[in-house]
């Protein structure tokens, strides 16, 4: 069964506003717009606006000249998609699984289900009745394949059902080629070729179609593929929507609480409940959300992410304790809800982790969690290689427990400093022009006499990534008279046509 | 008790040790003569060392890494006989506060020793308080090989109490801490060993005498629980840390030349034996 919500965005906006069809705000022409680089563009228009000349895809300025009384509201495509996902889950009442058909359609598998509703005709009537009851303007159709149902829902008669004994080629023949779910340019091409109906395509020799579209692999650009899918000659896998309920525990409080010690107690209870729930599921939480509903209707939310899956109540409480310091309870909190919105499989383990931590120390993941909660997730990181020969780009940072990407081994004869300054610091250097060794330099107000030096190691800019005016770098490994070892570079050479006298920088410190 | 009996029999004139005294510590008459001298490669039993170093070079961090690798090597040698012991691949934690990062930069992966490269976990703390918190959490973690801290100056947060907390945590969970103090006064602290570090002219490399050689430092042990104070010129050039007496007239000429990773002094054994 295919379902098409004709005005999904407008219907959703109307339901959010709480006004009936054609009344209140919907009684005037209204469009939903999104901002683009060329100004606002109309995504959806209600009935009156369409009658006034506005249609989806127009610029708002063009529509305003046709219909000056147009009211404008912002569109919410992400919200529409989320709504469609919820709708797909709800539509599983008519079949074991359902799939999204963005932006405004649903597909429900009703194979072998119709007798439960007393036949396909009553099933379709039931679906249309319930969708209309939700305030959605939909069309629906039932057919043996997803493609045929889609075509009938959009371009066929009302509540169409492909009869089991009818020939599908005959029945679907009069539908326009737009029913093939093709891209707009392919439809335009077919129309220019004079092919307007499915029956016209069917009359052609198959070889001619295959040769005309032999270069397009994508189904949305190849009419022959689509035709085969409609008639069931070629499989068409769909991605079903499944509902994964997030584990959730909550406490309703008889008296609103305003004090921290009571809140800590409730959080500890919730963490114990959550641990029991997750243990039953064999899961551990990676992200936890603690929502606190206040008496005045306000909601406070605190989020927590952990480096590895865990369900240890003491660990969760300790991490949340740092997050609850800046809470404003107002007149009191009356409902607290803990939700694990991201979980990962976690096998059963020993339970007294807190006592074990006192005796044997914490695990690495626990240590990282504690540091990240106080210092922030960006503060604790692991260095990884990156394939670049510019020194500061050869190292990147990633979360400490993530897997390192594969990398090549480093060349052993490249000497690299133990520490690299975040930003190379400008120094004044006396050196043999144009490109000789440095003799003396001044850094942070101190003069260093250079006793030994090795270089240059020339590192050219990455021309495939940077502009052509970036200068090369000549790196020198030097040691001054007190034995301090540094990594200097001269930025460019005299006469390279990319700037004046080259500057010197200090980039790294050797041990 | 068995250890105590052995020490007492070796030096009968020493007074009996009170129970709970740290390993290697001696007390009483003539204990000064019984106190050993530090040298690279001997087990120190020290879990918390402070290294005072100038911020304008990487001598503090370099020596801290060298000492930490030295300690890891001794541990590996001690555990080599025990069956079922795999090589130590636990990560290590490197904590820096903001001032230390600004003055002396961040650790650079290609410049780290090859056996530590894949094990680095770096903590960039915004303030000394946060850095001390991260250090203490790192010391409580059983999955870390060691912890290196870098703090600039004498922050108010690092008083004797904070220092003592670090010492207790390090000794309780047996995770060594090497705390590098950049441009700091020698203030009150609970570290078991305190070093003053500066760069030293490096030994001359064999193939290019005009180039800088392997890392060398002038290190002086200011205060130690179980060792005599002293001064050395330490060099991390070969596979192990080596020490030379400090008061050389010109260390760069008398130090043994760097053989570039060749085996030093093979003696009777074959070169293949390492």
What's residue B270's pLDDT? 62
Banded model confidence at residue B268, pLDDT cuts 50, 70, 90? low
Give residue-wise pLDDT tens across range B210-245. 999 899 999 999 888 788 888 999 988 767 788 887
> Who among A420, A452, A454 is closest to B105 (CB)?
A420
- Which residue in chain B has the smallest CA separation from A359? B173
Contacts of B142 in chain A (CB under 8 A): 360-363
What's residue B30's pLDDT? 65
Cis peptide before A103 (omega within 30 of 0): yes
> Who among B112, B134, B212 is closest to A371 (CB)?
B134
Contacts of B137 in chain A (CB under 8 A): 362, 367, 370-371
Q: Residue A352 burial by CB count (10 A; 0-12/13-18/19+): exposed, middle or buried?
A: exposed
Which string of DSSP letters, residue by residue, matches A315-368? HHHHHHHHHSTT---TT-EEEEEEEEEEEEE-----S-HHHHHHHH-B-HHHHH
Measure in Å the smallest separation between the Cα of B8 and chain A Cα atoms: 32
Query: Structural domains in chain A?
Result: 8-79 (3.40.1170.60), 83-230 (no CATH), 248-375 (3.30.1490.100), 419-509 (no CATH)
- Domain segments of chain B: what residues? 47-202
CA A458 to chain CA mean position, Å: 42
Measure in Å the smallest separation between the Cα of B217 and chain A Cα atoms: 8
What's residue B15's pLDDT? 43
Q: Residue A215 burial by CB count (10 A; 0-12/13-18/19+): exposed, middle or buried?
A: exposed
Q: Is A270 strand, coil or helix?
A: helix
User: Any CB–CB contact under 8 A between A442 and chain B?
Assistant: no
CB contact under 8 A, B236 and A395: no
Contacts of B118 in chain A (CB under 8 A): 404
The mean pLDDT of chain B is: 81
What's residue B147's pLDDT? 96
Is residue B274 scored above 50 in pLDDT? Answer: no
CB contact under 8 A, B111 and A366: no
> Who among B58, B112, B212 is closest to A454 (CB)?
B212
Contacts of A372 in chain B (CB under 8 A): none
What's residue B74's pLDDT? 87
- Which residue in chain A has the smallest CA separation from B96? A379
pLDDT > 70: percent of chain B: 74
Contacts of A422 in chain B (CB under 8 A): 101-102, 105-106
CB contact under 8 A, A482 and B108: no
CA A176 to chain CA mean position, Å: 36
Measure in Å the smallest separation between the Cα of B134 and chain A Cα atoms: 6
- State the Cα angle at A153 between A150 and A158, rounded to 5°: 160
What's residue A150's pLDDT? 92
> Who among B56, B108, B236 is closest to A417 (CB)?
B108
Is residue B8 scored above 50 in pLDDT? Answer: no
Is residue B248 scored above 70 in pLDDT? Answer: no
ipTM of the complex as predicted: 0.80
What's residue B211's pLDDT? 92
DSSP annotation of B132 reads H
Contacts of B138 in chain A (CB under 8 A): 367, 371
Is residue B27 scored above 70 in pLDDT? Answer: no
Cα separation, A193 vs A223, in Å, equals 13
CB contact under 8 A, B61 and A508: no
Cα separation, A235 vs A469, in Å, equals 55
- Which residue in chain A has the smallest CA separation from B121? A382
Residues 349-388 in A contacting B (C-alpha not used; CB under 8 Å)? 357, 360-364, 366-368, 370-371, 374-375, 378-385
Residue contacts between A and B (CB atoms, under 8 Å): 179
Cα separation, A372 vs A380, in Å, equals 7
Is residue B6 scored above 90 in pLDDT? Answer: no
Neighbours of B196 (CB within 10 A): 18
Contacts of B106 in chain A (CB under 8 A): 419-420, 422
Contacts of A361 in chain B (CB under 8 A): 140-143, 173, 175
Q: Residue A125 burial by CB count (10 A; 0-12/13-18/19+): exposed, middle or buried?
A: middle
Is residue B252 scored above 50 in pLDDT? Answer: no
Contacts of B201 in chain A (CB under 8 A): 451, 479, 481-483
Measure in Å the smallest separation between the Cα of A501 and chain B Cα atoms: 26
CB contact under 8 A, A375 and B130: yes
Q: Which fold has domain B47-202?
A: Rossmann fold (3.40.50)
Residues 451-490 in A contacting B (C-alpha not used; CB under 8 Å)? 451-454, 477-479, 481-486
- Which residue in chain A has the smallest CA separation from B113? A418
The tokens for B250 are 């010109």
pLDDT tens for chain A, residues 1 to 511: 999 998 889 999 988 888 888 777 788 888 999 998 988 999 999 888 988 888 888 899 999 999 888 899 999 999 999 999 999 999 999 999 899 988 889 999 998 898 999 989 999 999 999 999 988 989 999 999 999 999 999 998 888 888 878 888 888 888 888 888 888 888 998 889 888 888 888 777 788 888 888 877 788 888 888 888 888 888 888 898 888 888 999 999 999 999 999 999 999 999 999 998 998 888 899 999 999 999 998 999 999 999 888 888 899 999 999 888 888 888 999 999 999 999 988 887 665 556 655 666 788 898 999 999 999 889 999 999 888 889 999 999 999 988 888 887 777 778 899 999 999 999 999 998 788 899 999 999 999 999 999 989 999 999 898 888 899 999 999 999 999 999 999 999 988 888 889 999 999 999 8
Q: B interface mutation test: which of A383, A387, A455, A508 has the most B CBs within 10 A?
A: A383
Measure in Å the smallest separation between the Cα of B140 and chain A Cα atoms: 5
What's residue A347's pLDDT? 82
Measure in Å the smallest separation between the Cα of A460 and chain B Cα atoms: 18
CB contact under 8 A, A454 and B142: no
> Who among A418, A478, A483 is closest to B111 (CB)?
A418
């Amino acid at each position: 069964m295919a379902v098409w919500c004709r005005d999904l965005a407008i219907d959703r906006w109307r339901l959010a506003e709480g006004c009936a069809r054609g009344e209140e705000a919907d009684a005037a022409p209204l469009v939903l717009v999104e901002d683009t680089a060329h100004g606002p563009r109309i995504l959806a228009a209600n009935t009156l606006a369409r009658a006034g000349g506005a249609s989806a895809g127009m610029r708002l300025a063009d529509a305003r000249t046709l219909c000056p009384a147009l009211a404008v509201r912002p569109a919410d495509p992400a919200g529409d998609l989320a709504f469609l996902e919820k709708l797909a889950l709800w539509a599983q009442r008519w079949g074991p699984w359902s799939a999204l058909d963005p932006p405004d359609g649903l597909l429900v598998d009703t194979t072998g289900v119709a007798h439960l509703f007393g036949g396909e005709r009553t099933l379709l009537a039931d679906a249309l009745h319930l969708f209309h009851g939700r305030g959605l303007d939909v069309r629906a159709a039932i057919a043996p394949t997803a493609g045929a149902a889609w075509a009938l829902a959009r371009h066929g008669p009302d509540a169409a059902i492909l009869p089991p004994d009818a020939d599908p080629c005959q029945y679907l023949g009069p539908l326009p080629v737009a029913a093939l779910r093709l891209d707009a340019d392919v439809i335009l091409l077919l129309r220019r070729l004079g092919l307007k109906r499915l029956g016209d395509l069917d009359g052609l020799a198959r070889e001619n179609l295959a040769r005309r579209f032999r270069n397009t692999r994508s189904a949305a650009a190849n009419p022959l593929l689509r035709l085969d899918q409609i008639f069931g000659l070629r499989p068409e896998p769909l991605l079903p929507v499944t509902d994964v309920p997030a584990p959730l525990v909550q406490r309703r409080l008889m008296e609103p609480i305003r004090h921290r010690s009571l809140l800590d107690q409730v959080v500890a209870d919730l963490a114990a409940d959550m641990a029991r729930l997750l243990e039953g599921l064999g899961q551990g939480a990676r992200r936890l959300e603690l929502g606190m509903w206040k008496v005045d209707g306000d909601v406070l939310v605190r989020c927590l992410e952990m480096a590895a899956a865990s369900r240890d109540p003491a660990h969760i409480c300790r991490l949340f304790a740092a997050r609850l310091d800046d809470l404003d309870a107002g007149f009191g909190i009356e409902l607290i809800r803990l939700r694990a919105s991201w979980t990962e499989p976690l096998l059963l383990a020993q339970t007294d982790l807190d006592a074990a931590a006192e005796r044997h120390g914490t695990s690495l993941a626990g240590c990282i969690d504690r540091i990240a909660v106080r210092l922030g997730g960006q503060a604790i990181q692991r260095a990884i290689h990156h394939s670049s020969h510019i020194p500061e780009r050869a190292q990147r940072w990633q979360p400490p427990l993530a897997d390192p990407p594969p990398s090549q081994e480093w060349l052993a004869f490249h000497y690299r400093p133990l520490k690299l300054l975040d930003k190379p610091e400008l120094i004044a250097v006396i050196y043999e022009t144009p490109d000789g060794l440095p003799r003396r330099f001044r850094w942070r107000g101190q003069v260093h006499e250079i006793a030994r030096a090795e270089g240059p190691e020339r590192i050219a800019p990455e021309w495939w990534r940077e502009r052509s005016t970036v200068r090369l770098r000549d790196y020198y490994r030097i040691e001054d008279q007190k034995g301090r070892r540094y990594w200097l570079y001269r930025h460019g050479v005299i006469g390279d046509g990319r700037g004046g006298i080259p500057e010197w920088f200090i980039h790294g410190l050797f041990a | 008790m068995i250890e105590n009996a052995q020490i007492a029999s070796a030096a009968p004139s020493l007074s009996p040790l009170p129970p709970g005294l740290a390993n290697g510590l001696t007390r009483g008459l003539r204990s000064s003569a019984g106190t050993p001298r530090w040298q690279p490669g001997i087990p120190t039993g020290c879990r918390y060392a402070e290294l005072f170093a100038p911020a304008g070079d990487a001598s503090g961090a370099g020596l801290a890494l060298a000492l930490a690798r030295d300690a890891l090597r001794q541990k590996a040698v001690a555990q080599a006989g025990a069956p079922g012991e795999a090589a130590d691949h636990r990560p290590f934690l490197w904590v820096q506060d903001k001032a230390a990062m600004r003055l002396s930069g961040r650790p650079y992966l290609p410049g780290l020793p090859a056996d530590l490269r894949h094990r680095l976990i770096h903590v960039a703390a915004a303030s000394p308080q946060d850095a001390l918190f991260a250090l203490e959490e790192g010391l409580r973690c059983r999955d870390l090989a060691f912890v290196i801290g870098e703090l600039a100056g004498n922050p108010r947060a690092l008083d004797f109490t904070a220092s003592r907390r670090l010492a207790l945590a390090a000794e309780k969970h047996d995770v060594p801490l090497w705390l590098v103090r950049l441009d700091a006064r020698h203030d009150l602290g609970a570290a078991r060993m305190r070093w003053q570090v500066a760069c030293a002219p490096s030994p001359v490399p064999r193939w290019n005498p005009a180039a800088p050689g392997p890392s060398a430092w002038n290190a002086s042990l200011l205060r130690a629980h179980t060792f005599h104070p002293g001064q050395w010129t330490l060099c991390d050039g070969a596979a192990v840390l080596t020490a030379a007496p400090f008061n050389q007239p010109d260390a760069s000429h008398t130090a043994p030349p760097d053989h570039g990773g060749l085996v030093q002094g093979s003696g009777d054994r074959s070169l293949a034996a390492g």
